[in-house]
Structure 1
Amino acid sequence: MTYQEAFVDFWEQVKASVQEERFAKLTMAKTIGKPDLKNIFVRPLASEGDFKVLLKFSYRLKETEDEEQELSLEQAFEVLKSHLKKPFLTVLLFTTTKDVTFKINKKGVGSFTEGAPTFQDVRLADRD
């Protein structure tokens, strides 16, 4: 299964965790090389109406200020998808019932594994 197809399956778990109010956090990590962009974090936001997330770009250099965007879940999917493989190889989904790790191997194949939950409850992101 290509990493793009596997990521779509992984994203179904993200959407299910949101619908069931179990979504705690999502992190893109493990880059190829040492790009300026170190991590991308996604946290749920308190919002009236539709579900929103705070997407934060965290940079390696202290001189580069982190960027934040308030997005819908589908908008966040498009942003994250564009950063897969170049530069990120791993995406971690943290829910209150399990953690799911999505990985892309050297051959460009995507897979995911499940583990015990890191978070016990959902904490909404603070908007600066």
Structure 2
Amino acid sequence: MLYHDTFILFWEQVQESVQEGRFAKLTMAKTIGKPDLKNIFLRPVYSDDGFKVLLKFRYRSRETEDQENEVTLEEAFTTLKPYLKKSFSSVILFTTTKDVTFKINKKGVGTIIENVPTFQFVTQAQNDAE
């Protein structure tokens, strides 16, 4: 199955974990090549406006300042999609019940692997920009 379809299945697990209050963190990792962008993180933010995520772009270069924005889950999905297969080959969803890894192989096929949870509790993100 091509990675687009598999990523949609993966993202459904992200949405489900948010709805059930189990979402702890999401990390885009395994960069392709040596880009300046090192990781992209999503951390939960619960506010009066409802659920949002802190979207953080972390860079390798100390000259490039990390970027943080609070966005909706839908906005995060739209932001992350273009980085798949071009910049990152894996995305890891951390929940309080399991870790779910989405990987893209060299042929462009996506897979989903589940593991035991890394996090036992959900910790809200703190926006460094505030």
Task: Give TM-score scaled by structure 2 length.
Answer: 0.96
Task: Name the residue aligned to 2:58.
Answer: 58
Q: Count residues in correspondence.
A: 128
Q: Quick check: 1:115 aligned with 2:83? A: no
Unaligned stretches of 5+ residues in structure 2: none
Task: Name the residue aligned to 1:18.
Answer: 18
Quote the sequence identity (%). Answer: 68
Equivalent positions of 1:1-128 (< 5 A) are 1-128=1-128
Instruction: Write the deviation string for residues 85-114 of structure 1: whole angstroms up to 9, x where unpaired.
Output: 111000000000000000000000001100
Q: Which amino acid aligns with 1:35?
A: P
Offset at 1:49? Answer: 3.0
Unaligned stretches of 5+ residues in structure 1: none
Instruction: Write the deviation string for residues 19-49 of structure 1: whole angstroms up to 9, x where unpaired.
Output: 0000000000001110010000000013113
Offset at 1:51? Answer: 1.0
Q: Which amino acid aligns with 2:117?
A: P
Counterpart-to-counterpart distance in 1, 2:50 and 2:110: 30
Query: Helix, strand or coil: the match of 2:50?
Result: coil
Counterpart-to-counterpart distance in 1, 2:45 and 2:3: 28
Counterpart-to-counterpart distance in 1, 2:26 and 2:86: 18
Consecutive aligned runs of 4 or more in structure 1 exceeding 4 Å deviation = none
Query: Helix, strand or coil: the match of 2:120?
Result: coil
Query: Helix, strand or coil: the match of 1:51?
Result: strand
Counterpart-to-counterpart distance in 1, 2:55 and 2:108: 25
Counterpart-to-counterpart distance in 1, 2:108 and 2:97: 29
Offset at 1:74? Answer: 0.4
Task: Give TM-score scaled by structure 1 length.
Answer: 0.98
Offset at 1:77? Answer: 0.4
Superposition RMSD in Å = 0.7
